Structure 1
Amino acid sequence: MSIQNNIDRITDILRRDDGISGAMHYTEQISWVLFLKFLNDYEENKADESFLEGTDYNHVLRKDLRWNQWACPKDDDEKLDVKRALTGDDLIDFVNKTLFPYLKAFKTNTNDPKSLTYKIGAIFEYLDNRIASGHTLREVLDIIDKLDFQSSDELFELSQVYENLLKSMGSDGGNSGEFYTPRAIIKAMVETTDIKVGDTIYDGAIGSGGFLVEAFEFLTANGKKERLSAKEWEKLQNDTFYGQEKTSLGYVMGMMNMILHGIESPNVFRGNTLTQNIRDIQEKDRHNVILANPPFGGKEKKQIQQNFPVESNATEILFMQHFIKMLKLKGRAAIVVPEGVLFQTNNAFTKVKQNLLENFNVHTIVSLPSGVFLPYSGVKTNILYFDRKGATKDIWYYEVNPPYKLTKNKPIQYEHLAEFVELFHNPQKRWKNYTKAKETRYDWTIPITEIKDYDLSAKNPHTIEVVEHKSPKELLASIKENDAEVNSLLNQIEILIDG
């Protein structure tokens, strides 16, 4: 049975538990159990390697708290030792009163934030066992015990399964949706930022860690890993991936996602990125590549706003200033922003965009279709590309046009962005140099001299307006379908007015 089928079984089991409510909870609970089994197999593999090298391996976990001692102890026939395997109230008491307190203490027991010990403590600092029934937990442990994370094939499958779990958590809507950015968008952004081994890559709002994971896979896939030197591999593991996450759940999901994908020591910490006074940021603090989809639609208190030269309660404007300040000389950035950042021309928005255009090269803006982030948000968004290589001269626009209206069940696909990626890397194929039927032109270039009042919104000059006449019944259905999007837009307008 595949890992995915086993995880589906566990999900069904957890849904019946009194302590679990919704995709956010069962993803969180599956995560900590999966992580401990992964950690057990990782340590066993390291111990075997040390034995072959004639050295001793120092286990991170105490012997009696390793998986094969408490979770699924074995008898002489390598079958579950039912006499030693805890279940029911005994199992829950052990997990809540012994195992979790031990793991939570890891962070305070080491001074090395790059160590695996510290990372484990940082994860479990914000985790608690929510599984109420010890019999439910016993079922879950027995299923996960059969998974083997020592083979590269199973590790790859595990990473894909975990992505699906995070996606289901995002699709659940509510607050959990903010942790997940569609993989198609992340992949396209990573493929168009010229990432190289030796770069530092930063996301100031990591959510489930999608951008950093995709960047790692981009740098190691298709035989690239095998061509890396030992020094390059160490650099990739320890000094490449950086970020912060405000929420405890997002931080836990992001850390686990990165570790399960093979990033053993991500430099990611829990905290509100916007509490840092950007006036204190120096060149040594900056990064070569910034990839992010920061939260938008939120508001920050006056105390937080004072950390920025241009004060605003709109989180998107504060994050923009932060990312501008965090980019190294010659660095590259690709950031998802709501439509309002581009077209809004009030004082705060104008000042930030003026700084961006005059001191950075805003070379590309991608107009994403409505519905990309449904059901979490219906706000229309764009991808803003800029680098620190001089002032802006021309902006190349690309309008993404899927063949169908995006919904929760019909999300954006990578194929919808494939032409953008192709044209990004091949400027000679863009519309002004390449003949296409007028109605299929989705890219255009605007010189900075034609930008008025710092309005950067994407207005496709090739678009021909088509009036569609609908029946009253169809109009009513459309209104109901777009209700969530309307509410989100009203919230955006309120923020823009306050900002």
Structure 2
Amino acid sequence: MSLQQKIDRITDILRRDDGISGAMHYTEQTSWVLFLKFLDDYESEKRDEAELSGKAYQPVLDEAHRWSTWACPKNADGTKNLKADSGDDLIKYVNEELFPYLKSFANSIVTGGADPKSFAYKVGATFQYLDNKVASGHTLREVLDIVDTLNFQSSDEMFELSLVYEGLLQNMGDAGGYAGEFYTPRPVVRAMIKAIDPQPGQTIYDAAAGSCGFLVEAFDHLKSKKSELSTEQWNFIQRDTFFGFEKTSLAYVMGMMNMILHGIESPNLYRGNTLTQNIRDIQEKDRYDIILANPPFGGKEKDQIQQNFPIKANATELLFMQHFMKTLKSGGKAAIVVPEGVLFQTNSAFKQVKQELLENFNLHTILSLPAGVFLPYSGVKTNVLFFERSGGTSDIWYYECEPEQKLTKNKPITDEHLKEFVELCNSRETTDRSWTVSARNLAEDYDISAKNPSKQRDTEHLTPNDILKQVRNKEKFVSGLLDEIEDLLAGK
């Protein structure tokens, strides 16, 4: 049975349980089981490494609460221990002993007694927002037995699991109507990261992290260079590179687990509303080299939140844009997904934010994405703004992504659709899909929306007389069709 088949089997089992209702529940419940098996394999690997180097290893979990003790204990010969708990005994243990124990790690977070970068801290941060929802101990026993067959010490299996888990997150987002919150299409994310090209030693930030797709893909991008990295650089990537905030508890839990299951040992993900921070208090030490994000748009924030920003606005996209501009380091790079309205709206707040962006940042590239990228969550047309904190904007290179077929839920955007953009973004070539506009031409109303000049030429080359001739010809054609219909109706 392949790993995908095992996860599909777990999903089918959980669907039958009285405590599970929908994709969000079975993904959440599958996640905590996978996480605890991963933790057991992780601890085993660290213990073996410590023994080889003659050092002692202090495990995160005590012996009574380790996977190998309660979930799937083995006999001395490695066979399954048939006395393992099931039914009501298993559910009672999980609900009354295991989860309270795991949540207790959160107490050290509150009191400041744990190293924020330690694995114990991450366990507490994750499980303080989780509960077991599986009602039947027999259902849970089936799930545990399947997960026990997974080997998280295998790099190949870990890679395959990371892909399968991405699929679970996407299904959860689609089914719950939270696709934009949990899942940004990975071809878009990868194109943004390839254009930015993060380097080892840089810090990477997402203030609206969701399931942490941007941070995970950025990690994979850096991991591809692992053979060239020193131990110090790799440790920095594992512990001091990735930072994020997420407002909702479920997305936070999914994001934390997504990063850890992809191989980031110490993600710096925090739960909280980014917009409650007064950006006037942000100093250079609080800033990041790389910002990658798809912040929520279409929402409204109350007056109290708006006070944290120099340009007051209730639109979340404008508040997040101000936050990103303020948290970008000198010389830093950002790629931000925004709705079309941010580009063309010219009322006071929109105009002021774009004026600051053009005057104080180098908005060098705008990627115009096709409608339907975020279906079924949203049909809003979006763009990606690429800017650097390196002086004002002189000109903007636009690229218009236009697939031959209309995007739908079943025909989503692909890497191939964005391949040309990635190839051209550094050379900034002019093609039928790409063009450059001087920032001086945008300074009157700050409408920075994509207006492809090649399309405008196509529609403007006809003279008025030619247009009138076309109209008359079409009228004659329609009139002829109507005559034929009348003749048919009259029986001629």
TM-score, length-scaled by structure 1: 0.89
Structure 2: runs of 5+ lacking an equivalent: 461-469, 475-492
Moved more, 349-358 or 448-457: 448-457
Matched residue, 1:245? 246
Q: Which amino acid aligns with 1:387?
A: E
**Contact in 1 for aligned 2:206/2:293 (Cα 8 Å):** yes
Matched residue, 2:465? none
**Contact in 2 for aligned 1:367/1:399 (Cα 8 Å):** yes
**Contact in 1 for aligned 2:375/2:408 (Cα 8 Å):** yes
User: Could you tell me how far apart the structure 2 residues matched to 1:425 and 1:320 are?
Assistant: 24
**Contact in 2 for aligned 1:353/1:454 (Cα 8 Å):** yes
Matched residue, 1:216? 219
Q: Deviations 1:402-428 (Å, cap 9, x if unpaired)?
A: 12111111110011000000001233x
**Contact in 1 for aligned 2:28/2:254 (Cα 8 Å):** yes
User: Could you tell me how far apart the structure 1 residues matched to 2:95 and 2:227 are?
Assistant: 42
Give runs of aligned pairs for residues 374-413 of structure 1, distance below 5 A: 374-413=375-414
User: Could you tell me how far apart the structure 2 residues matched to 1:302 and 1:53 are?
Assistant: 57
User: Could you tell me how far apart the structure 2 residues matched to 1:293 and 1:329 are?
Assistant: 22
User: Could you tell me how far apart the structure 2 residues matched to 1:119 and 1:344 are?
Assistant: 42
Moved more, 102-111 or 255-264: 102-111
CA drift of 1:465 comes to 5.5
Q: Deviations 1:190-224 (Å, cap 9, x if unpaired)?
A: 00113111111110000011111111110111xx2
**Contact in 1 for aligned 2:364/2:396 (Cα 8 Å):** yes
TM-score, length-scaled by structure 2: 0.90
**Contact in 2 for aligned 1:173/1:376 (Cα 8 Å):** no
CA drift of 1:381 comes to 0.4
Matched residue of 1:337: which SS?
Answer: strand
Matched residue, 2:205? 202
Return the match for 1:458 from 442, 450, 470: 450
CA drift of 1:141 comes to 0.2
User: Could you tell me how far apart the structure 2 residues matched to 1:465 and 1:136 are?
Assistant: 63
How many equivalent residue pairs?
455
Runs of 4+ in structure 1 off by over 3 angstroms are 464-467
Matched residue, 2:158? 155
Matched residue, 1:444? 435
Matched residue, 1:256? 257
Give runs of aligned pairs for residues 351-390 of structure 1, distance below 5 A: 351-390=352-391
CA drift of 1:173 comes to 4.2
User: Could you tell me how far apart the structure 1 residues matched to 2:71 and 2:114 are?
Assistant: 29
CA drift of 1:9 comes to 0.4
**Contact in 2 for aligned 1:24/1:176 (Cα 8 Å):** no
Matched residue, 1:44? 44
User: Could you tell me how far apart the structure 1 residues matched to 2:61 and 2:338 are?
Assistant: 42
Give runs of aligned pairs for residues 270-285 of structure 1, distance below 5 A: 270-285=271-286
User: Could you tell me how far apart the structure 1 residues matched to 2:331 and 2:276 are?
Assistant: 26
Change (3 A) 1:96 1:176: farther
Matched residue, 2:121? 118
Q: Which amino acid aligns with 1:459?
A: K
Q: Which amino acid aligns with 1:297?
A: G
CA drift of 1:177 comes to 4.3
Moved more, 266-275 or 455-464: 455-464
CA drift of 1:151 comes to 1.1
Return the match for 2:143 from 140, 143, 151: 140
Q: Report % sequence identity.
A: 67
Matched residue of 2:104: which SS?
Answer: helix
CA drift of 1:279 comes to 0.3
Alignment partner of 1:179 is 2:182: yes
CA drift of 1:54 comes to 2.1
**Contact in 1 for aligned 2:430/2:436 (Cα 8 Å):** no
Q: Deviations 1:120-151 (Å, cap 9, x if unpaired)?
A: 00000111111111111000000000111111
CA drift of 1:98 comes to 0.6
Matched residue of 1:453: which SS?
Answer: coil
User: Could you tell me how far apart the structure 1 residues matched to 2:412 and 2:76 are?
Assistant: 50
Matched residue of 2:435: which SS?
Answer: strand
User: Could you tell me how far apart the structure 2 residues matched to 1:76 and 1:115 are?
Assistant: 32
Give runs of aligned pairs for residues 24-43 of structure 1, distance below 5 A: 24-43=24-43
Matched residue of 1:206: which SS?
Answer: coil
User: Could you tell me how far apart the structure 2 residues matched to 1:64 and 1:397 are?
Assistant: 59
**Contact in 2 for aligned 1:368/1:381 (Cα 8 Å):** yes
Matched residue of 1:462: which SS?
Answer: helix
User: Could you tell me how far apart the structure 2 residues matched to 1:108 and 1:64 are?
Assistant: 20
Return the match for 1:164 from 164, 167, 170: 167
Matched residue of 1:161: which SS?
Answer: helix
**Contact in 2 for aligned 1:293/1:337 (Cα 8 Å):** yes
Matched residue, 1:89? 88
Q: Deviations 1:472-493 (Å, cap 9, x if unpaired)?
A: xxxxxxxxxxxxxxxxxxxxxx
User: Could you tell me how far apart the structure 1 residues matched to 2:199 and 2:352 are?
Assistant: 32
CA drift of 1:338 comes to 0.4
User: Could you tell me how far apart the structure 2 residues matched to 1:401 and 1:108 are?
Assistant: 51
Q: Deviations 1:275-304 (Å, cap 9, x if unpaired)?
A: 000000011100111000000011111110
Q: Which amino acid aligns with 1:88?
A: G
User: Could you tell me how far apart the structure 2 residues matched to 1:20 and 1:460 are?
Assistant: 49
**Contact in 1 for aligned 2:278/2:309 (Cα 8 Å):** yes
Matched residue, 2:464? none
User: Could you tell me how far apart the structure 1 residues matched to 2:47 and 2:441 are?
Assistant: 64
Matched residue, 2:99? 100
**Contact in 1 for aligned 2:170/2:179 (Cα 8 Å):** no
CA drift of 1:55 comes to 2.2
